[in-house]
Amino acid sequence: QQQVKQSPQSLIVQKGGISIINCAYENTAFDYFPWYQQFPGKGPALLIAIRPDVSEKKEGRFTISFNKSAKQFSLHIMDSQPGDSATYFCAARMDSSYKLIFGSGTRLLVRP
């Protein structure tokens, strides 16, 4: 119930392509869904976040798509660049809680 399932575990995309990472959850009490980006040797950094009252949020090349009925959300990286190569974590949080519950992470490699 408290889990967030993330896929794929790793992803290789050509430069200019679209990277898509998916997450699913069970607990309908979750009401905040951030994506974090982590480079080697660094901490997770907030990339973009969404709440369930919208189905899509776009910031530059990064888009979150949210499907409330399916309890799924995904990160799309358009025009992927080698500099986007990092590990991406989805997460979820309930309004009644402080803790972020993280997915297992996706290691993205964008080939030049």
Partner 1 sequence: EPEVTQTPSHQVTQMGQEVILRCVPISNHLYFYWYRQILGQKVEFLVSFYNNEISEKSEIFDDQFSVERPDGSNFTLKIRSTKLEDSAMYFCASSEAGTWAQPQHFGDGTRLSIL
77 binds partner 1 (CB under 8 A): no
**Out of 19, 23, 25, 34, the residue judged to bind partner 1 by CB under 8 A:** 34
Are 87 and 105 in contact by the 8 Å Cβ rule? The answer is yes
Among the residue ranges 11-19, 54-62, 64-72, 87-95, the one whose residues contact partner 1 (CB under 8 A): 87-95
The answer to the question of residue 41 lying near partner 1 (CB under 8 A) is: yes
Establish if 95 lies at the interface with partner 1 (CB under 8 A): yes
Taking CB under 8 A as the rule, does residue 24 contact partner 1? no
40 binds partner 1 (CB under 8 A): no
Site residues, partner 1 (CB under 8 A): 31-32, 34, 36, 41-46, 49, 51, 89, 93, 95, 97-105
